[in-house]
Amino acid sequence: MKAGAKGHKLDRRGSLIGSLVFALDDEKTGLANRIKELENELKDPTLVNPASVHNNLANALMNSGQIEEAIKHYQKALELNEEDAAAYMNLGVAYKHLSLFDKALDYFKKSLEIRPTADEHYNMANTFLKLEPPDFGSAVEHYKEALRMDPNHADCHQNLGLVLKGEGKIDAAIMELRSALKLSEGSDVNAHYNLGNALVSKADALEGEAK
């Protein structure tokens, strides 16, 4: 079996979060079977909730790297149910991976209107950082709102810490990065690395002040 990375993880509501990467060979086989199964479901004239099946099929296509095909099914899900927050959020993820960040933000905003959760704010914040130039102010605002809604969102603490470090707010960054590390129970290598860098930056700053 060839080594590869895991696909998207799903939040509790079925929305895609995290980074899009290619699946392991065994997972690819499972995804191909799942895609075929869902495609067959859509052919059933007695299907009760086709919007949900389109959304699930799109999720499987995303995890297999077929982003543009996935977009078609997310859009079909929205044609059938225009209040499907998961489909809006997942479309945002899809367009983000196509580097169409303004379009991604449009879908994240719609998702946020329907279903204001920490994950929606987190995705918005991450996407504001992808703009050219990055919108740090909006990113920080959405990270903070996400943490207000879910104080245990470790990835949000970590990303907010990195933004604050970039803005020179080292003490605030260290606080967020410590929170991320604590929530990971010390198992997140990136959290260790990022906190270490922030502590070095603080030490350098103090040394510079002492000279």
Average pLDDT over every residue of 79-85: 95
Question: pLDDT digit string (tens) for 11-44?
Answer: 433 444 444 444 556 677 889 999 999 999 999 9
**Which position has the higher pLDDT, 204 or 16?**
204
The number of residues making up the chain comes to 211
**Which position has the higher pLDDT, 27 or 59?**
59
pLDDT at 209: 82
Task: Go through 140-167 and write b for each residue having 16 or more CB atoms within 10 A of its CB, e for each that does not.
Answer: bebbebbbebeeebbbbbbbbbbbbbee
- With a pLDDT cut of 70, the percent of the chain lying above it is 87
Residue 141 pLDDT more than 80?
yes
Question: pLDDT digit string (tens) for 91-138?
Answer: 999 999 999 999 999 999 999 999 999 999 999 999 999 999 999 999
User: What is the pTM for the complete model shown?
Assistant: 0.80
Residue 9 pLDDT more than 80?
no
pLDDT at 29: 81
Distance of CA 204 to the CA centre of its chain: 33
191 near 178, Cβ under 8 Å? no
* DSSP E strand stretches across the chain: 9-10, 16-17
pLDDT at 208: 83
Nearest-angstrom CA–CA distance, 160 and 154? 10
Please, which residues have CB within 8 angstroms of residue 156's CB and are 6 or more apart in sequence? Answer: 118, 122, 125, 143, 146, 147, 150
pLDDT at 13: 39
DSSP letter, residue 81: -
The lowest-confidence range among 1-5, 47-51, 128-132, 144-148 is 1-5
Average pLDDT over every residue of 174-191: 96
Average pLDDT taken over every residue of the chain: 89
